[in-house]
Structure 1
Amino acid sequence: MGVADRKEREKVEMRRQILAAAQKLFLEQGYEKTSIRNIAEVIEYSAGTIYLYFKDKNEILFALHVDAFNALMHAMQAGIGVETDPFERLISLGKSYLKYAFENPELYDLMFVMTAPMETLECRDEIWCDGERAFNTLKLVVGDCMQAGYFAGENVETVSVMMWSLVHGLATLHLRRRTMIFPEERRIQLLEEVYDRFVEMVKTYKRK
């Protein structure tokens, strides 16, 4: 391995360490209470080292969001890529979303649950860019379902928010440990069953 390649790998690894430490602190003590110095202490480097990679903690949060949403979008695309029927794509999209949330609880918390100033996400014109990209994917699938006769007379945005609210609610109930009233081996299974029942009800929206 050449010197340039080694240095590049070291830079990538340092960036990974910074993001991992920041994510941990953001979730444990909150975004506002976390400082660059706190992050530096976790990785045992100087604060100056972090500034070589990120200009401030806003940029760190933005990087975490971008990486997390890229992973979510990959999971969503994988979920709908194998289905040809539009309604089956919608079902798979919801299942992929839940699977991502259950398997990546800390990332999901950072993306959708953790309280942090939205201006830190560097959104243009007050638009939550990463969230909009994921939501537009859902809207496209819902629109295809409408073309196939589902959700007759409904608005594509309204139906999309309804679907998103359901899967987000199920994911958040679990990740915020509100399902602890049920036996551990039953918790995720129960949420998956709720989603399946919801899908059955949604099927009644199909035009005869």
Structure 2
Amino acid sequence: MAKKPKTDQEVAEFRARVCDAATRLFTERGPQNVTMRQLAAEVGVSAMTPYRYSRDKDEILATVRAVAYNKFASSLERAVKRAPDIRAKGRSVGDAYVRFAKRYPATYQLMFAFTQPDEERFPELVKANVRAQETMVGYVRLMIEEGLLSGDAQLIGYMFWATLHGIVVLELAGRLDRGIDARTLREKIMRTLYAGMQTSPPSLSA
């Protein structure tokens, strides 16, 4: 008797299980050291089952990273919407960024510690990556429109992004000296950046 086709929900649930397993294995071993057979074993299915839903390991990695970028972007977009006023958006985005990295360290690592050759082969990943980048620039554009900042929105957004990423990586790796608090370091650097742009820092303190 032929097997009953899986429902859309069952397919989505299986893919979610594969993504969870892939995130763990890719982070622990590195994508290059993970095989489809290992992924299948981690999920508890036959070696060929994952091929029914994905062409190969690269497609699974692309899917996992796209999910990560979208989750990241959603967190920051909510932070922007919930900020009480335009001056608080920068602080809200920074807080959401740090919370996400600490809550999902494996996901964060897959987003920024790994690259894939020919990423343009995966439209879903490209779209998610663009969305994530926009979250780090969009709120800056709003602040420029309100006269709180001046300059190129993309450049300023990437400056802030690089600052947050650097601090997060150092903190997660335990590389900050005991006398240096990550939150204080972030505030001091951001104040310095704002001062360098000759702009009063908006809502940097809680």
**1:206 matched to which residue of 2?**
199
Q: Deviations over 1:16-50 (max 9, x none)?
A: 22222211221122111211112112223212111
Structure 2 letter corresponding to 1:117: Q
Distance 2:84 2:128 in 1: 26
Does the CA contact (< 8 Å) of 2:75 and 2:96 recur in 1?
A: yes
**1:21 matched to which residue of 2?**
21
Distance 2:97 2:77 in 1: 10
Where does 1:177-192 land on structure 2 (aligned, <5 Å)? Answer: 177-179=174-176, 181-182=177-178, 190-192=181-183
Distance 2:169 2:120 in 1: 21
**1:49 matched to which residue of 2?**
49
Does the CA contact (< 8 Å) of 1:59 and 1:120 recur in 2?
A: no
Structure 2 letter corresponding to 1:73: A
Does the CA contact (< 8 Å) of 2:141 and 2:153 recur in 1?
A: yes
Does the CA contact (< 8 Å) of 1:142 and 1:160 recur in 2?
A: yes
Offset at 1:12?
3.5
Please state if 1:170 is matched with 2:161. Answer: no
Distance 1:13 1:133, change over 3 A: closer
Q: What value does the CA root-mean-square deviation take over the aligned residues? A: 2.7
Please state if 1:193 is matched with 2:184. Answer: yes
Structure 1 gaps of 5+ residues are none
Structure 1 letter corresponding to 2:159: M
Does the CA contact (< 8 Å) of 1:61 and 1:121 recur in 2?
A: no
Does the CA contact (< 8 Å) of 2:59 and 2:122 recur in 1?
A: no
Q: Deviations over 1:92-111 (max 9, x none)?
A: 11111111011110100111
Select 1:155's aligned residue among 143, 152, 155: 152
Offset at 1:143?
1.6
Does the CA contact (< 8 Å) of 1:149 and 1:206 recur in 2?
A: no
Please state if 1:99 is matched with 2:92. Answer: no
Does the CA contact (< 8 Å) of 2:62 and 2:122 recur in 1?
A: no
Q: TM-score, normalization: structure 2?
A: 0.81
Distance 2:127 2:173 in 1: 25
Structure 2 letter corresponding to 1:141: Y
Distance 1:196 1:92 in 2: 13
